[in-house]
Amino acid sequence: MREAIAAAIVGDDVFGDDPTVKKLEQATAEILGKEAALFVPSGTMANQVSLRTLCDPGDEVICERGSHIVNHEAAAASALSGIMLSPYDGIRGRIAADQIKQAIRHQDIHYPRTRLIALENTHNRAGGAVLDLDYISQIEQIAREKSLSFYLDGARLWNAAIALGIEPQAISGHFDMVSVCFSKGLGAPIGSAVTGPAALVAKARRIRKMLGGGMRQVGIIAEAALFALKNNLGRLAEDHVRAKNLAGGFADIAGVEIDTRDIQTNIVVFSIKKDVNKFLADIAFRGLLMVPFGGSRIRAVTHLDIGDEDIAKAVAITAEALAVN
């Protein structure tokens, strides 16, 4: 990937003449079955550009309470675009269809205008849970019946497709706009994309500029994303296997609470009864990094830099740290 970056042909993407960016956008759009794509620096910007493209200030977005746009984007939807997020409690990232139907407001000048339903697949805070096509189709039908837009935060869509054994566009085809990330499981150093109809992506391009996402000779990072799409997409299945093995190892450790049946992709969330910050500091000292995930929960993620030996080592370090805490 570093060699590909060094050899990348570049132009000026703000002027639309960086050939490597254009190649990446075309490839991403084709994989997802969309007319066009737009390269952006981050998943958060991808989400915010998409929300602003599909909504106007004062509009409402129905979403799940644990979703990334609610918890991890510094209230950007309201602060930058005047959009109201209306989160509802779901089960493993899924809001029930009846919840959504009841949440859609009728036209009244006192109310915000319900404009968009947003899903996240896979769902980060639900431990990498996968939304299957039956569920997606059910929610899409509601959106179409009520003339609402339908958006997918698909930062980890690649993992969802691998887990379901389908092509990515089998998921993305249900949505008006879809974002994807190149810097998570695919291993690129930076970058996401927004995809959809050409007219919406053209609008999104202006909003990207408005939010400070217009970049110049950005082909050097677009080339990394292209390399990731070509070489690292199929191997995501290996991460899923290693995540299950990691969860299985954790399940055998006294003091760890985990349901291995919940592991569907590359995210492993577990709980401990000891002090989380002390535990994380202890394992970091021993060479293992994980992140706090709220309360007693901790998140571990497998990726292309993690091999089978690393899984065994992570389990051993976790056991050692819990034994002494």
Note the pLDDT tens digit of each residue in 229-245: 999 999 999 999 999 99
Are 104 and 144 in contact by the 8 Å Cβ rule? The answer is no
% of the chain at pLDDT higher than 70? 100
Q: Which of 178, 199, 231 is the last residue of a domain?
A: 231
User: Is 180 found in the same domain as 107?
Assistant: yes
- The pLDDT score that the predictor gives to residue 325 is 54
Task: Look up the pTM and report it.
Answer: 0.96
**Cβ-proximal residues to 97 (8 Å cutoff; 6+ apart), any chain:** 138, 139, 142
User: Is 142 found in the same domain as 208?
Assistant: yes
Q: What is the CATH number of the domain that holds 296?
A: 3.90.1150.10
- The pLDDT score that the predictor gives to residue 301 is 98
Query: Could you tell me the strand order of the sheet in which 36-40 lies?
Result: 36-40, 192-196, 177-181, 149-154, 113-120, 59-64, 84-88
User: Is 87 found in the same domain as 200?
Assistant: yes
User: Is 225 found in the same domain as 243?
Assistant: no
**What are the tens digits of pLDDT across the range 98-132?**
999 999 999 999 999 999 999 999 999 999 999 99
Q: What is the CATH number of the domain that holds 99?
A: 3.40.640.10
User: Is 290 found in the same domain as 212?
Assistant: no
- The pLDDT score that the predictor gives to residue 324 is 82
- The pLDDT score that the predictor gives to residue 112 is 97
* Dihedral angle computed from the Cα positions of residues 229, 231, 236 and 238, in that order, rounded to the nearest 10 degrees: 180
User: Is 134 found in the same domain as 28?
Assistant: yes
| 25 half-sphere exposure, CB direction, 13 A CA radius | 24
- The pLDDT score that the predictor gives to residue 44 is 98
Are 264 and 242 in contact by the 8 Å Cβ rule? The answer is no
User: Is 255 found in the same domain as 201?
Assistant: no
User: Is 248 found in the same domain as 121?
Assistant: no
Split into its structural domains, the chain has a count of: 2
Q: Which of 216, 231, 246 is the last residue of a domain?
A: 231
User: Is 313 found in the same domain as 210?
Assistant: no
User: Is 180 found in the same domain as 56?
Assistant: yes
- Cα–Cα dist 50/254, whole Å: 44
Residue 153, judged by CB atoms within 10 A of its CB (0-12, 13-18, 19+), counts as buried
User: Is 203 found in the same domain as 89?
Assistant: yes
Helices (H) and strands (E) in the chain, counts: 14, 11
**What are the tens digits of pLDDT across the range 24-60?**
999 999 999 999 999 999 999 999 999 999 999 999 9
Q: Which two tokens stand for residue 272?
A: 């401990």
User: Is 267 found in the same domain as 124?
Assistant: no
Q: Which amino acid makes up residue 221?
A: I
| Domain range for 130 | 2-231
- The pLDDT score that the predictor gives to residue 264 is 98
The alpha carbon dihedral of 107, 147, 136, 24 has a sign of negative
Collect the ranges in the chain with pLDDT lower than 50. none
- Cα–Cα dist 246/252, whole Å: 10
Q: Which of 211, 231, 251 is the last residue of a domain?
A: 231
